[in-house]
Amino acid sequence: MSTLGNRDFVKMNGLGNEIVIVDLRRTPSPIGAAEARGAALQEPYDQLMALYPARSGADASICIYNNDGSEAGACGNGMRCVAALVSRETGKGRLVFETAAGAIACWDAGGGLFTVDMGPPRFRWDEIPLAEEFADTRRIELEVGPRGAPILHSPSVVSMGNPHAIFWVDDPGAYDLAKIGPLLEHHPLFPQRANITLAATPARDHLVIRTWERGAGLTKACGSAACAAAVAAARLRRTARKVTVTLPGGDLAIEWRDGDDHVLMTGPVEYEHEGRFDATLLADAGAAS
């Protein structure tokens, strides 16, 4: 049986990161991978954010699906969209959501901006996770291209609820990320696959990135990748702990707080439209899930 058939949805975006939100709090039912893929064919999205009843006093529990049907642990841009929607519904300026990556607090930062507390980054090789041990995850041994003359090498790796690999380059736009990204996403070193980011640091308070997003592909904006790149840059002393991250879709303000190690992401949200999933088109996908 289809969970999403005849279900209303809201389409939003965070800096062009396409987000579809479905509210299942009153009629909770699981969404299978095939149905999530079918929904993406009806209403193209990068991430599907499904709201469920909270289990421990939070405002909602959220399951996050990539457009290939896989589940994601975190989606910073999607969390801002959900926060904006639920804030408008409830009148609350501060909200807490349960996710696979833990409880995530979000709040209205004013001026159409929302802030997401993405929590502390994780650096240990088995927390990211990696398939083999590296004592220092600020730089690991991984190369792309000819031996002795790689085009990319020595990425920083970190988990922001999802695994991230950040390659440091002069110009993130100078590489064919659509070709390189899927190869690295599925590299044996990443047992849960990885988000692949190319990052430049033109100033102490500024990063420029492009990201191939695990399970979604090339994206105009990936919030968790922006956080991961900012943290990795600060660990390497490339930047300070408070930076602007420029993505193809626009800018995010990222702060890696010294006091509690939490990473705060602030950025805009945009409402696009509302719609309803076609039950007939999703029926087979629901049965297959």
CB burial of residue 230 (10 Å; 0-12, 13-18, 19+): buried
Instruction: For residue 81, indicate whether it is catalytic.
Output: no
Identify whether the C-beta of residue 223 lies closer than 8 Å to the C-beta of residue 17: yes
Of the residues 63, 75, 106, 227, only one is catalytic, namely 75
Tokens of 47: 């991430």
Identify whether the C-beta of residue 121 lies closer than 8 Å to the C-beta of residue 159: yes
Instruction: For residue 222, indicate whether it is catalytic.
Output: yes
CB burial of residue 219 (10 Å; 0-12, 13-18, 19+): buried
Integer Cα distance of 289 and 276 in angstroms: 20
| Region for residue 259 given its phi and psi (left: phi exceeds 0; alpha: psi -120 to 50; beta: otherwise) | alpha
Q: Which residues are catalytic?
A: 75, 222
